[in-house]
Amino acid sequence: MTLQTLSPQAAKALLDEGKAVLVDIRPADEHAREHIAIARNIPMDQLPAAAPALQGRAVVFHCRSGQRTRLNAQALRAATSGEAYVLEGGLDGWKQAGLPVRRDTSQPLELQRQVMIAAGTLVTGGTALGTVVSPWFYLLPGFVGCGLVFAGLTGFCGMARLLMKMPWNRRALAATGL
């Protein structure tokens, strides 16, 4: 099931008139770093519990680019009995339309980006060290690759769990109340 698409300008008009509520379905860490000021953050995994508050209202859902919103259209549609829309282009489309967002660069990068940076650094470093120092260092990129395959197959990412325990992420989680 697809949701109707709404341009950022049309969504803003509906929101300004009080005819709709804007819901950001991204995880709290993504929302904390950059978001539309009037958006309520209800991550996908919390949507069933929050659904009663959305009943009878027009809801405009968004994510970063609109892709996650489109992929979860059926669950999003089921979360509200009123009209439901997808913000065209998501947060990126909102910004491209020249509409304001709030940025907090003191918040850490999103966990997924941290994992990509860490994995890329370990693979590049292990490959360079394997070439220059000892072939034993080639085990490092192999280990990281196996970890990424395991994460993709099971949904459990050990590197993400480890990064969540880093001081910069613990401080950010405490600030958001998670």
List 63, 76, 79, 144, catalytic entry: 63
* CA quadruple 91, 94, 98, 104: dihedral sign: negative
Burial 102-133 (b: 16+ CB within 10 A, else e): eeeeebbbbbeebbeebbeebbeebeebbeee
CB 159 within 8 A of CB 147: yes
SS3 107: coil
**Residue 146 a catalytic site member:** no
Catalytic residues: 63
